[in-house]
Every structure is written in C-alpha cells, then in structure tokens.
Amino acid sequence: MEIIEKIKTNKSTDNLTEIQKICLDKLQSSPLPNPKSEQWRLSNKSKFSNFLNYSVNEKNPKFDIPFPNTSRSSIRLVIGDDCQINLIEENYSIKQLSEDKLVKYLKEQISYFDQNENWSDLLNLSLNCTKNTLGLKITGSEIPPIEIFSHASSNSLNAKTLVIFLEKNCDIDLLQINLGKDNSSLSQSTFFCLEENSSVNHGIVSYGENKSNLLKSLNVIQQKNSEYNLGSLHFKFNYARFEIRIKQSEGNAKTNIKGMQITKKDEQISTYTKIDFNGPNGFLDQINKSLADDKSHAIFEGSIIVPKIAQKTDASQLSRNLLLSNLAQIDTKPQLEIIADDVKCKHGATISQLNEEELFYMRTRGITLTEASKLQLSSYFQEIISFIPVSKDRWDLLDKLLNEK
Amino acid sequence: MVNENLVKDVVKEPYKYGFVTDIETEKIEKGLNEDIIRLISQKKEEPKFLLDFRLKAFKKWQKMKEPDWAGLGYKKIDYQDIIYYSAPKQKQKISSLDEVDPKLLETFDKLGIPLTEQKKLTNVAVDAVFDSVSIATTFREELAEHGVTFCSISEAVKNHADLIEKYLGTVVPASDNYFAALNSAVFSDGSFVYIPKGVTCPMDLSSYFRINSGDSGQFERTLIIAEESSSVSYLEGCTAPMFDTNTLHAAVVELIALDDASIKYSTVQNWYAGDEEGIGGIFNFVTKRGKCLGKRSKISWSQVETGSAITWKYPSCLLLGEESVGEFYSVALTNNLQQADTGTKMIHIGPKTKSTIVSKGISAGNSKNSYRGLVKMGTKASGSRNYSQCDSMLIGDQASANTFPYIKSQQPNSEIEHEASTCRISEDQLFYLQSRGIEFEEAVSMMVSGFCRDVFNQLPMEFAAEADKLLALKLEGSVG
C-alpha cells in the first residue's frame, strides 16, 4: 500500500494523468507482486523493498553522460529532458507521438496486463508523468542510429517510459542506455511496436553505480515479416530486474536475443523473458549468459509459448552461466510450453566455471593465470557485446567489463 | 502425408485391465478423522509409535493446502468421500499360497503376475497388494536364506519394528507435502525390503498394486533399506478397474542406500486413465524419494508412466554421500485427456556426486505432458556433475508438451548441463519405412520405441518387454 500512498502524496489526485489513474486503480487491488509467484519467488525481498524506498522524483537534474560524445551521424535523446524531436528528412522522419495516440496505445496495452506479470509496467506507468514519457513514430530508411538515455538521480526513484512505433519497411539501429546513480532506483518501461517488414537492431546497456536499482521491462509486438534483434547487457546494479515480453502477433517473424548479466559483490540481477508465438513460421534464437562472482546472485527465467496456431515455429533458447565464487549462486529455468506439433523447439542450460583445460593450455604457453582468465572471459563476453548495435565500435564495453572492480 | 485419422485410430486402444474382481471385501466407513486413523492402526495391530506418527501427520495435513502449482485442472477431491481401508476377506493367517482366495489368484493371473507355483520359474519375488492389504509374497524362504527381508509393511511393523521406527519418515517426512502427509496418516500397506550388509539380492523383487474397489483410495507405503555394499533391483506395477469415478492413489516410497549400496527401482504404471471424455481414472499423487546416505551409494529410478488420469510424481534423489550417484530414466505417455506432471529432483549435497536425468514424454490426443525437474548443487557439492536430457514427442496438434527445469547452483566447482528438444513423428521417416513395406502402425511403433530406447535400455529385462508391449498397446493396437 505504501507505494500507492507515496504516489498520491506526491501529487494531488487531480493532477494525475488518465493512465496514472488506471494503473493506480489496478495496483490498489494488489499493491505488490505476489512473492510466491514464479516471476517473483527468487527476488531478494530486502533489495526489492529498498528499491521502493526512495522518494519519487519527477525532476531531471543535469547529469554527465559517462559515455563518449555523440558522433555527428547519430541522434541522441534523453528521456525527461524536454526534448522535442521532429525530424523530417528526405528518406526518413522521426516524430513525437501525439498525446492522444500515446494514451490510446498505453490504455490498450494496460487492458492486456496481468497484475503479477506486468507489475513493473503498472508501477512505471502509475509513477510516470507525461514529461518523462517519450513516444516516437519512425518511418523511412537510412535512418541514423539513435541513442536513448534513461537515468535516475541520486537518492530518488525515477520512472521513464519509452514508446516506439516503427512503421512498415523501416529499419533502425537503436541503443538504449539506463544509468543508475548512487542510491537510486530507476523504473524503465519500453513499448515497441514493429510493423510489417520492419527491422530493428536494439541494444540495451544498463550500467549502475553504488547501490543503484533498476526495474526494466521491455514489451515488443512484432507484426509479420518483422525482425527484432536484441543485444543487452546489465551490470553493476545492486538490484536489477529485466523483463522481456515479445509477442509475434501473426507469426512469420524473426527474433534474435543475446543477453548478458554480470553480478559481483552482493548484487542480484535477474532476467525474465517470455516469448509468445501467435502465428505460424515464427523464429527465435535466444542466448542468455550470466556471470556471478563474490556473494552475488544471477537469475534467468525464460519461457517460450507455442500455441496450436504456431505451426512450423523454430525456437531455441540457451542459458549459459559462469559461477566464479563459492558464495555466489545462479538460478536458471528455461521453459517450453508447446501445443503445435510441427515445430522445432529446443533449449539448453549449463552452469560451470572457467574451463580448466583451456586455462592450463594457456599457462603452458606462458600466459599468466589472470591473463588467461581474462582471455576466456573476453571471448565469453564478446559474443554478446558484438551484438549490441551502435556502441560496439565507439564504446569500449569489453574493457569496462574486464577491468571492472 | 501422415493420415491424421490413422494416427488417432492407432492411439485409441481399450484398457485391458479394467475388469473388477467380485470378491467380498471388508471396508470401513467413508471419511477421514482421528477415529478412522485409530481404527486403521487398531486393525493392523500397530505399536504406539506408529499411531503417534499417523496422528501427527494427520494434524499437519489438516493445516496444509492442496498444492496447485502444477496447474493440473481436476475436480476438487472430497477427502471425506473416500474409504481409507478396504481389504478382501480371507482367512487371517496364510501359510501357503494354496490358502489364498482362488479369485484373488485368478485376478493376478489375469494380470500376468506370477504368484502361483508354476510361474515361479520366472525368478522374481512378488508382493501383491490388493486394495489396502498385501495378500501374498512369494519366494520368502529363498530370500530369507540370504538374509533378505521382503514382506508387506504391516508384517514388518510387527517383526522389524526397530527398523521401521528408525527409518520410516526419514526420507519423506510427514510434513513434506500435502499428499505425503495424507499418506503418512492413513497408509494401509505396501512393501518392506531390507538387504543386509554385503548381500546382492539373488532375484528381482517386485510389488504389484491393484486397486479393485471404486470408492476407496489406495495409500501404500514402500520402504527399502540397502545396507553397506548390498544391492537390489525392485520392480513395481500398477493396474485398476474401469470406474466412472476418480480414485485417489497417494503413495510414498522411501529408499535408503548406505555405503557402496545400490538400489534400482523400476515402475510400470498403468492405472486406469479414464475414458476418451476424461471420465473416471486414477488420480496418482505419489512422493518417491531416495537418500544416498553412504559413500559411493547409488539410486536409480526408471519409470514408464502410461496410465492415470492425473500423474503428479517426482522420484528424487538426495545425494549426501561422497561420490554417490542418482539416476532417473522416464517415459511418460499421455493420451485423450490425461495429464502428467512428472520429473525428478536431484539434490547434490555431498562432494563428487553425479546425477543423470533422461526423460521422454509422448503426448497424444488432448493430453498434457509436462517435465518438471530440479537440479540443485549445494555449497558442499564440489566436483559434482549433472546431465539432463528431456525430449518430447507430440502426436496431433491438440496435445501439449511442456518442460520446466529448475536449475540452481551454489558451487562453482560443479557442472550442470541440461538440454531439451521437441519433435514429432517425421513424415519422411514414416514414408521411408512404409516404402520398405513396413505397415504404418508398425512404423509408428518402431519410431516410438526408438524414441524411448535410452530409457528402455535401463529397465530390467522383464519390464523392458512389458513396457515395449504397453506402449505398443497404447499406441498401435495389436501390432507389437
């Protein structure tokens, strides 16, 4: 209940937007997610309550982007920065979604929400004001890469929402960056709608600092013949939860996901994915990697749902995990729910530590143990990092990961 | 092109063990309360510790909630509408098989269970359980010569009370889960096996469970103890008549393996599964668990699950002893409106423990077949390994196949591998076989048999043949 009170005391009820009111109403019946449900069972309770402990902040203080300046060829947007974008070029256009459209779309989405599964979205939308919502409609081709930042300010809870409509035959590279500051909580929900024949290379990099928390959800709807590629990387958060929900609304679409989470100290980072095939000939290739060190806890739970209509689906899911310390733990749960009979579905999961034989081989060649471990880790990381668009050439993510203390 | 209807015809095969034996039985009144439990205990002339065990379990059960996490949709069970004790009336003491009611012998004869003398050549000792009581155990003298105790659990309570008191409920505590608590409160009979130190059991032991009465539940309890360096192979078979009501079966099996001991537990479960509309059938809620207490001990579960309207069963291994080994081989076949939620739990506690899981699910008709398993590496399980493989085969586009593996590791120096895949009977393969003159039905049978081969290879001889036949019956009429 506290969280609802918090939102209400922050604003007089009259100032709440329509969406906020709907979401608050929904939250009223069950203000917190059910801790016994599969989606929330493993979530660290004290860390989660810590997430909610900060006061809600709608203001956006200036912040220094710890990443290189934008190059001329890319577009950089910061959610909540009063950014007005209205680009109309010869080949493409990027326009702000009108408020009516945005509200209509979000209302429709909320009507499909499951109280428990979409709790993060409900929280995000009930916290959020119009200012911290960015809605974009993108059309055309040869669009320069786009970078979108969401950030939290110190000692507060921030909520940022992103809605993107990708029109037919459109093709973009998009990098989303979530930044957590000291003692902060960031709630970030993204809604993506891919129309026919569109294609996205979507990268998500979430980078926290001391005691920062993140609740990130991603809802993607793919129409037929669309292609959605996601490369994601989450690290340095005290508590982070990443939820991916992808729906191939008519099948005949392609989805590639490569994600990674790295936990150290006593951090807990979890990834939950749900891929819903709602038509025939769907394709999915998913790999999720975790690395857990010190006393940390990494969680992956992925479900693939193939109903009767989704014949000829080809889906594979792999969860690879490295456990590097005696006190760390890893939970992984890949799941398949299949009704259609003419499908190819498989999943796999492994948990182990660095390969000893490979380490030994490198050491016999004069490479020190530290160097050899680094080499192994870099190949482990590289597969995911090379899949993250825009950043890979300019930002030395690999170095960041390898030299992170 | 596969003829869809042909596959459906093939899948439809009547249940052969659905007859009812007309025999006078002694039943107690329906319902469950403390008095009923006292009555069961009194009928079985049990010592006080067992009555206390039952009453404690009952108290715990009353506070528990029926689990719903498996998402099995079934009609709510009215626990007060069940008879908790039913036994065929016969002379009190049986000294030889000749004194067993011929009708009972005939029943087991029909089921192909070797109770009578001439069938003893098969060299399998059998404990036959009819509704709530064990009616006969064969080969007892021969086993006794080797020091092996094989008897019904009620006899064991009288003759080996110390072992029962020491081990009962140590692997599956009364409060373990809802159905285990219910079983602990009302269990009627079951088998007890004790293999002394250094003995390799000279023959396979077998229990045969038969539910005959439509309104009574079956709650049997099996306890197997293998002392140091001993080994035993145990087989279990189950059938029930066809009734249009659901019958509850809630069993508990506990296995204990000490240093260097090995236990192989095989099940062919063919309870009545209900008709095509899902009317009737057995609700099978079973808790099976083995404890590898000793160093280098080994417990191996193999099962063929073809019957029951609902199967809820996770034979598990607690790997405590250093270098102990757990194995699970399973074939689950569901058809019509059957639901099977089965799998295993491999809990690695001790160092250098190893486990292997091979699960094959075949779903046809409108059925639901799920694999649900847990592999856990505890903090002390250094040098441990697990390998799991779950394959599903779908026949028709109405059946569902699910895989829910839970994997948890707290030990970096351990390895877990899991893989799962889904397939169907490939048209190319069928076409190839048919073009070589093999009948459609036989081709289907060959492919199913090939799909399950990894598991069938693990079954004891007697069962492998039976299992193959059973799947053939369920899937392809007379061909087999």
Q: Residue A336 and residue B409: Cβ atoms within 8 Å?
A: no
d(CA A185, CA B53): 51
What pLDDT sits at residue B98? 61
Q: Are strands B415-424 and A344-352 parallel, antiparallel or unpaired?
A: antiparallel
Q: Are A146 and A173 in contact (CB under 8 A)?
A: yes
pLDDT one-digit tens code per residue, A126-146: 888 777 888 999 998 888 888
> Which residue, among A293, A301, A336, A359, would best test binding to B if mutated, counting the most B CBs under 10 Å from its CB?
A336
d(CA B193, CA B254): 11
pLDDT one-digit tens code per residue, B379-422: 999 999 999 999 999 888 888 999 999 999 999 999 999 999 98
- A83: CB partners within 8 A, 6+ apart: A77, A134
3 state SS of B133? strand
pLDDT one-digit tens code per residue, A290-305: 999 999 999 999 999 9
The mean pLDDT value for B254-275 works out to 90
d(CA A391, CA A227): 20
Q: Where are the domains of chain A?
A: 2-403
Q: pTM of this prediction?
A: 0.88
Contacts of B397 in chain A (CB under 8 A): 308, 311, 339-342
3 state SS of B179? helix
More confident residue, A402 or B333: B333
User: Which residue among A329, A338, A342 sits closest to B410, beta carbon to beta carbon?
Assistant: A329
Nearest residue on chain A to B423, judged by CA atoms? Answer: A344
What pLDDT sits at residue B272? 83
Q: Residue A359 pLDDT > 80, yes or no?
A: yes
Q: Residue B450 pLDDT > 90, yes or no?
A: no
- B217: CB partners within 8 A, 6+ apart: B82, B83, B84, B186, B247, B248, B249, B250
Nearest residue on chain B to A291, judged by CA atoms? Answer: B412
Q: Residue B397 and residue A342: Cβ atoms within 8 Å?
A: yes
- A286: CB partners within 8 A, 6+ apart: A255, A256, A257, A258, A259, A273, A275, A302, A315, A316, A317, A318
Q: Residue A338 and residue B400: Cβ atoms within 8 Å?
A: yes
What pLDDT sits at residue B478? 26
Phi, psi (degrees; rounded to nearest 5) at B442: -70, -35
Q: Residue B90 pLDDT > 90, yes or no?
A: no
Q: Residue A85 pLDDT > 80, yes or no?
A: no
d(CA A354, CA B232): 39
Nearest residue on chain B to A333, judged by CA atoms? Answer: B406
- Chain B interface, Cβ < 8 Å to A: 377, 379, 392, 394-424
Q: How confident is the model at residue B115 (pLDDT cuts 50, 70, 90)?
A: low
User: Which residue among B398, B417, B422 sits closest to A336, beta carbon to beta carbon?
Assistant: B422
What pLDDT sits at residue B254? 95
d(CA B365, CA B336): 4
Q: How confident is the model at residue B3 (pLDDT cuts 50, 70, 90)?
A: very low
State what percent of residues in chain A have pLDDT above 70.
91
Q: Residue B416 and residue A352: Cβ atoms within 8 Å?
A: yes
Q: How confident is the model at residue B475 (pLDDT cuts 50, 70, 90)?
A: low
Q: What is the mean pLDDT of chain B?
A: 83
What is the distance in angstroms between the Cα of B432 and the nearest Cα belonging to chain A?
A: 19
Q: Residue B398 and residue A347: Cβ atoms within 8 Å?
A: no
More confident residue, B143 or B124: B143
Q: How confident is the model at residue B479 (pLDDT cuts 50, 70, 90)?
A: very low
For residues B116, B122, B124, B129, the Cα torsion angle rounded to the nearest 10 degrees is -40
pLDDT one-digit tens code per residue, A149-181: 888 888 888 899 999 999 999 999 999 989 888
The mean pLDDT value for A313-318 works out to 94
Give just the sign of the alpha carbon dihedral A222, A225, A226, A232. Answer: positive
What pLDDT sits at residue B293? 94
Q: Residue B469 pLDDT > 60, yes or no?
A: yes
Contacts of B422 in chain A (CB under 8 A): 336, 338, 343-346
What pLDDT sits at residue B2? 43
Nearest residue on chain B to A303, judged by CA atoms? Answer: B404
Q: Which of B15-29, B344-358, B412-426 has the lowest mean pLDDT?
A: B15-29
pLDDT one-digit tens code per residue, A39-55: 898 999 999 988 888 88
ipTM for the complex shown: 0.86
Q: Where are the domains of chain B?
A: 16-313, 425-480
Beta bridge partners of A268: A239, A297
Q: Residue A336 and residue B379: Cβ atoms within 8 Å?
A: no
d(CA B96, CA B223): 24
- Helix A18-29 to helix A99-112 angle (10° resolution) is 20
More confident residue, A83 or B212: B212
pLDDT one-digit tens code per residue, A246-295: 999 998 999 999 999 999 999 999 999 999 999 999 999 999 999 999 99
State what percent of residues in chain B have pLDDT above 90.
43
What pLDDT sits at residue B119? 47
d(CA A179, CA A66): 9
User: Which residue among B401, B407, B421 sits closest to A332, beta carbon to beta carbon?
Assistant: B407
User: Which residue among A333, A338, A348 sits closest to B422, beta carbon to beta carbon?
Assistant: A338
Q: Residue A344 and residue B423: Cβ atoms within 8 Å?
A: yes
Alpha-carbon A354 to chain mean position: 27
What pLDDT sits at residue B245? 77
Q: Residue B378 pLDDT > 90, yes or no?
A: yes
Phi, psi (degrees; rounded to nearest 5) at B308: 70, 140
Q: Residue B121 pLDDT > 50, yes or no?
A: no
H-helix or E-strand containing B90?
Answer: none
Q: Residue B413 and residue A308: Cβ atoms within 8 Å?
A: no
Q: Which of B238-252, B255-269, B300-314 has the lowest mean pLDDT?
A: B238-252
